[in-house]
Structure 1
Amino acid sequence: MLLAALVATTALTACGLPRSGPNRNELLAGVEQTAGAPFAIPVDDNVARITAYEPPLTFPAAFRNAGVLGPDTINAGDTLGLTIYENVNEGLLAGQGQNFAVLDTVQVDGAGFIFVPYAGRIRAAGNTPEALRQIITAQLETQTPEPQVQVRRLAGDGATVAIMGDVGGQGVYPIERPTRTLAAMLARAGGISNEPETALVTVIRGNTEGTAWLNDLYTDPSLDIALRDGDRIVVKQDDRTYIALGATGGQSRIPFGKPVVSALDAIAQAGGLNTNLADPRGVFIMRNESPEIANALLGRNDLVGAQRIVYIIDLTQPNGMFFAREFLIRDGDTVYVTQAPYVQWQKTLSAITGPVGTAGSVNNALN
């Protein structure tokens, strides 16, 4: 009778004891239901390979293939200085007693044109000073004999980029000879003010944009793209996170902290498995998976829309650690580690024996 009463009391007590979440068997029983339940998939090499695909962060081909602007290319907004020599005593532009005229601060308008007396409206943007010199000379030759023209670029701030975000100095910067590529321009803006390993650089050009990891700019030369007038550059820290729950060293939302995070990394970042609580057979990664990947994993072609997938890793298996190292975590994943079965049993025994021990102590004190 006493044993039966103890078992009954244990069962009732176990139902009401606090815990961090469902155990391994309860989770597996839930996902094995057929009506709207998520799919349960044990992680192996094939699963790790299929789920590892994620579009790489890079710039569009149009950005990567664009050539560097020539150091002498004239742009809208530039200021030019013109000196025109005429081979006559009384020229068209020269003052009295002189054979040359100086036209300083000739502004290239927004459409890329300048106005030169007797030569008319001339397109300057896109030309070098030498090319523009030849154009002006040809225009004036019909009105004054053998004109000689000098073109000087007085200011190069017609082509500019705007830099925002986690840089040393936000602002608008001119594209000059030393800062014609992205990496050089970021250095000109004071460099990155946060952790370089997790810094993302976005370049917006018109209606097109691309994003790349900052460190990739230095390892892949094609990503150190040539800049163009009007580019907007935004630098920010990677904001991807995952949630760690259950029998880990800590339960919270955790930032990735690096470009690639494996399931093993995620467990370590959460403080590892709690040696007094965790069931190493029950590491679950919960995710809304794309239909393309879900169909590939399940050998189907009828799934439509995001699918709820529960990936299971058993760290007690010979390859469990390797699978955890190869399975990649994605933004928004939930990593849940179940409690070992004996933990709840210990709590139950403590709940039963605790009051009995307390009653015995009181009885001894009274006697």
Structure 2
Amino acid sequence: MTVKRCLGIFLAVALSACSQLPRGAAVQNEITRNADAPTSDIAVYPVTRAFLPSVQHWPSVGEKRHAWIGNSRGSNAQIIRPGDELAILVWDSGDNSLLTSNEQRVATLPNIRVSESGSIFVPYVGKVQVSGRTPDSARQLIQRQLEAIVPSAQVQLSMAEGRSNSIDLVGGVNKPGNILMPDQNFTVLAAISAGGGVSAALDNPQVKLVRGSNIYATSVSTLYENPRLDTRLQGGDKVIVEADRRYFLSLGAAGREAQHDFNRDQVSALDALAIIGGVNDARADPQGILVLREYPASAVSAGVRGPRKQRVVFSIDLTTSDGLFSARNFMIQSGDLVLATESNLTDTRTILGLVGSVFGVVNAASNVSN
């Protein structure tokens, strides 16, 4: 009887402490309780078909997203820019030429760098403004000006692109470096191709275009799918290809508790659940999938343009068709926490298991005493 009495006391204490049983996550009402209280610092929104139009107008959070610029057509010819190098050959078969001799009928002017002002110096002519012209147009201009001095002169001109006619492919490709633009229709995808293609190690690669003090960004997949967005590059542009830096977290009774990178431009709540490996069938509450997000103070609004509080909990019910369809159209943002809450049945199973274990010990003790 003494053993049974001790075990009975132990069972009573264990049952009274059931609220302190170890768990992998909170239950839903522990997170959302008192959300409607005036002093609450969180707002709770069920993700439903009726709610989706409102949240689409709310500000974005997390990693800053830059705009992109569309494509435009340029000249198929090369354009001379400051910093380019020109090589000029002047042919003259006339007697007593100012430029050539009887033994050498061609005058060579190699490695002429276009000045910052866009001009070059030609003997007997002086400064010639060539920046903004095609090589053929510059050749014709020089020849016209030489003809006033040397009527029989014929000019040949070639060009080597300088920094102003090249772009820098900074990283994220197999062969980064400085790339010369063959014409004025050189696009972002053409530059990536010239760099050996995107590195296979990048997840959802993003393209960042730095032009002067401005930054533009989009994803490589967007350029693949929308050729009109394959924008034309300008001399001096810097193109950076990098992995998508956005991420979200998963905790609780999830298939995997970890930090997850975005593997596409838009990740819905259902996509996120697939990425984390679903939820634990034995522990998770399918009616209590929560997405926790914190907005800046400037986003808080009493209307449809923003949340009521900075800290927001979005509740998703996977047991209804509306909940499933709505989860497919609810987009995860960078920094979100996807929390699979614990089912209330988990505590019940733990308690029943504890009771069964205790009674097993009691029966074993009784058999020993008998």
TM tier relative to shorter chain: 0.7 to 0.9
Write the distance in 2 (CA, Å) between the matches of 1:282 and 1:315: 8
Structure 2 regions of 5+ residues with no counterpart?
none
2:27–2:341 contact (8 Å) kept in structure 1: yes
Asked which structure has the greater RCO (Cα within 8 Å, sep 6+), the reply is 2
Q: 1:151 aligns with which of 149, 157, 172?
A: 157
Q: 1:294 to 1:316 in 2, by over 3 A?
A: farther
Matches within 5 A, 1:77-92: 77-86=83-92, 88-92=94-98
Write the distance in 2 (CA, Å) between the matches of 1:14 and 1:140: 100
One-letter code of the match for 2:68? F
Displacement of 1:265: 1.4
After superposition, give the CA deviation of every residue in 1:114-164 in whole Å (9 maximum; x if it has no partner): 2111111222222112221232123323333353322223x2354221112
Write the distance in 1 (CA, Å) between the matches of 2:271 and 2:191: 34
1:32 aligns with 2:36: yes
Displacement of 1:97: 4.8
1:89–1:99 contact (8 Å) kept in structure 2: no
Comparing 95-104 and 132-141, the one that deviates more: 95-104
> How many pairs does the alignment contain?
358
Structure 1 regions of 5+ residues with no counterpart?
none
Displacement of 1:291: 6.4
1:197–1:214 contact (8 Å) kept in structure 2: no
1:167–1:189 contact (8 Å) kept in structure 2: yes
Matches within 5 A, 1:174-185: 174-177=180-183, 180-185=186-191
Write the distance in 1 (CA, Å) between the matches of 2:75 and 2:365: 89
Write the distance in 2 (CA, Å) between the matches of 1:17 and 1:222: 59
Comparing 86-95 and 280-289, the one that deviates more: 86-95
Secondary structure at the aligned position of 1:215 is classed as helix
2:249–2:258 contact (8 Å) kept in structure 1: yes
1:58–1:223 contact (8 Å) kept in structure 2: no
Give the equivalent residue in structure 1 for 2:315.
312
Q: 1:302 to 1:156 in 2, by over 3 A?
A: closer
Write the distance in 1 (CA, Å) between the matches of 2:369 and 2:169: 79
Give the equivalent residue in structure 1 for 2:326.
323
Displacement of 1:334: 0.8
Write the distance in 1 (CA, Å) between the matches of 2:365 and 2:118: 97
Q: 1:13 to 1:354 in 2, by over 3 A?
A: farther
Write the distance in 2 (CA, Å) between the matches of 1:365 and 1:178: 94
1:59 aligns with 2:59: no
Comparing 321-330 and 88-97, the one that deviates more: 88-97
After superposition, give the CA deviation of every residue in 1:250-294 in whole Å (9 maximum; x if it has no partner): 211122222211111111221212111111111111111356865
Q: 1:7 to 1:281 in 2, by over 3 A?
A: farther
Write the distance in 1 (CA, Å) between the matches of 2:304 and 2:54: 14
Secondary structure at the aligned position of 2:242 is classed as strand
Comparing 242-251 and 102-111, the one that deviates more: 102-111
Give the equivalent residue in structure 2 for 1:202.
208
RMSD (Å), alpha carbons: 3.0
Write the distance in 2 (CA, Å) between the matches of 1:359 and 1:174: 85
Write the distance in 1 (CA, Å) between the matches of 2:226 and 2:183: 22
Give the equivalent residue in structure 2 for 1:299.
303
One-letter code of the match for 1:235? V
One-letter code of the match for 2:88? L
2:292–2:311 contact (8 Å) kept in structure 1: yes
After superposition, give the CA deviation of every residue in 1:79-134 in whole Å (9 maximum; x if it has no partner): 32212234631122112455542223323234432211111122222211222123
Displacement of 1:315: 1.8
1:291–1:303 contact (8 Å) kept in structure 2: no
Give the equivalent residue in structure 1 for 2:354.
351
Q: Percent identity?
A: 29
Comparing 336-345 and 170-179, the one that deviates more: 170-179
Displacement of 1:308: 1.1
Q: 2:279 aligns with which of 268, 273, 276?
A: 273
Give the equivalent residue in structure 1 for 2:142.
136
Q: 1:197 to 1:244 in 2, by over 3 A?
A: closer
1:166–1:193 contact (8 Å) kept in structure 2: yes
Write the distance in 1 (CA, Å) between the matches of 2:298 and 2:55: 10
Give the equivalent residue in structure 1 for 2:74.
68
Give the equivalent residue in structure 2 for 1:227.
233
Displacement of 1:56: 7.3
After superposition, give the CA deviation of every residue in 1:177-225 in whole Å (9 maximum; x if it has no partner): 4981111110110101126771101110111110111022122223211
